[in-house]
Structure 1
C-alpha cells in the first residue's frame, strides 16, 4: 500500500538499495523489510561484513564513491550528534552526477525547535532539496525507544522526572514500513509526516514505563525555562494529524519487558 499523501508511481521493486546507518535501531528493521520486499540491499559500513555490507566512511569520505556506485536508491539513516551535515554533503557529492533516489529520514519540528542537532538535520534537508537529486524526505516523531531510554536512564534515582509536555512516540517498524513504501513509489520530495498513534503526556508515558518495568517510583513533573522547553510545550514536535503509526507505547514496552 502506498502511504497517505503519496501517488502511486513507477514500481522500483528489486532495485539495488544502499542503506547508510543500516546497523542502527531503525536501519536494521529497514534492511530486513527491504529484503523481505525483494530488494537487493547493501549496508554502508566502516567494517565490511561479507555479503551484507560495503565499506565506506561518511566521516572522511573514504570509499563512498565506490560504495554508492550502482545503487538505484539510497536510504540515508546514518546520524550522529556531530557531523551530520558533513556526512550528508559527502554522500551527495559522491553520487553526483548520477541521480539515484535519495531517501532521508528527519524529525517532526526539526526546523522549529532550537537544538543544534535539529539545526543540523534542517541543513541536511536543505542540502538534499537543492542538490538536484530526486529525493524523498520523511519526518517522524520521536521513537518509542528514545522515550523509554529517557526514563530508563533514571532507573537508579528515587524519583522519575517527566518533562511538562506531550510526546507522540512512533515505532521504528511503522517508520520502516513507510520508508520501504517510498523505495517502491519513487521520489516524492517532502512527504507527509508520520507520528505515533497517540499524543500522550510525558507523565503518562513514565507511568507506563514503570508499570512495564515493575518499578515503584514517584513521577515528578519537570518544567524548565528557555526557548527549547517552550517550543516543546507548544507541540512543535508533534503531528497529531498524521497519527499513522499502529504500535502504541504499551505495545512496544511489552516486547522489552
Structure 2
C-alpha cells in the first residue's frame, strides 16, 4: 500500500483524486488550510508541513490560489519533500502555460520549473479548463443583461473526474516527467459554449462578441491554451450541464 499526500485535497480536483486513491486501497493524507489533521497553509510552511509529508511515498500537488503565493507554496512543499525523502511529486498544470502570457499561467509555469529542478522524481500533467470553471465564468457573465464574450476565442473544457482518474494513475506509476497534455473532447467557440449554458439554465441573454487587445488575448485567440491533438476527454460540456442543471427548465431567468 502506498502512502500519498494530496495537497488541496478538499478542492474540486483534489477531493476526487483522494477518492480514487482511497478506493484503490491506498493511504491518503489530505492537506489543506482547514482539513485536520494536516491543516497547513503551504504559503507559510512550518512544522505541520513536515508532519504531513513524513513517511509519504508520493505527493499529488493540486493546491493553488488565484490570489498569489503558488511559487512560495511550491518552494515550501519541495523543501519538505526533500527532507522527508519523498520519491515522487505529481503536479497538475494547465495547457498553454508556456504559450499564453497570462499572469496565472506564468505562475503555473514557474511552479513547473521549480518542480523540474527540485531533484525529486516528478510528473507534470497539463489539462485544459474544467467544465466547472467555465460554468463559473459564464455564470458571472450571465448576471449582466448582455453577455459579453472575448471575440474569436475557443475553449476545450474537460471533465474534472477524468483528470482526477489520470492523476491517480500517474501517482501510482513511476515518475514520468512531462506527460502528454489532456484536453476535453472538442474545442468550441465561447459563443457556442455560452449558448449551451444559457439553454441549460433557462436564461435569456443577448450574446455579444467583444474584440479585446493585448498579448494574452492574442494568444488565447490563436488557441495557445488548446490541445487539439490530445482531445482524449470523453465527457462533453452538454453532459456536464445536464448533470448539473437537469433539463434546462430553471424558470426562464431574465
Normalization by structure 1: what TM-score? 0.91
Match of residue 56 from structure 1? 40
Residues 1:154 and 2:141 are matched in the alignment? yes
How far is 1:114 from its partner? 1.0
Match of residue 7 from structure 1? none
Match of residue 170 from structure 1? 158
Match of residue 64 from structure 2? 79
- For the residue of structure 2 that corresponds to 1:55, the secondary structure is coil
Q: How do residues 82-161 of structure 1 correspond to structure 2 at under 5 angstroms?
A: 82-97=68-83, 98-161=85-148
Q: Is the 8 A contact 1:115 1:228 kept in 2?
A: yes
Q: Is the 8 A contact 1:85 1:124 kept in 2?
A: yes
Q: How many residues align?
A: 241
Question: Structure 1: which 4+ aligned runs deviate by more than 6 Å?
Answer: none
Distance 1:232 1:47 in 2: 35
Q: Which one of the candidate residues 178, 188, 192 is aligned to 1:190?
A: 178
Q: How do residues 32-47 of structure 1 correspond to structure 2 at under 5 angstroms?
A: 32-47=19-34
Match of residue 243 from structure 2? 255
Normalization by structure 2: what TM-score? 0.92
Q: How large is the RMSD of aligned CA atoms in angstroms?
A: 1.1
Residues 1:15 and 2:2 are matched in the alignment? yes
- For the residue of structure 1 that corresponds to 2:166, the secondary structure is helix
- For the residue of structure 1 that corresponds to 2:244, the secondary structure is coil
Residues 1:67 and 2:52 are matched in the alignment? yes
Distance 2:128 2:51 in 1: 33
Q: Is the 8 A contact 2:131 2:157 kept in 1?
A: yes
Q: Which one of the candidate residues 5, 24, 40 is aligned to 2:11?
A: 24
Q: Is the 8 A contact 2:58 2:86 kept in 1?
A: no
Q: Structure 1: which 5+ residue stretches go unaligned?
A: 1-13
Distance 2:188 2:109 in 1: 26
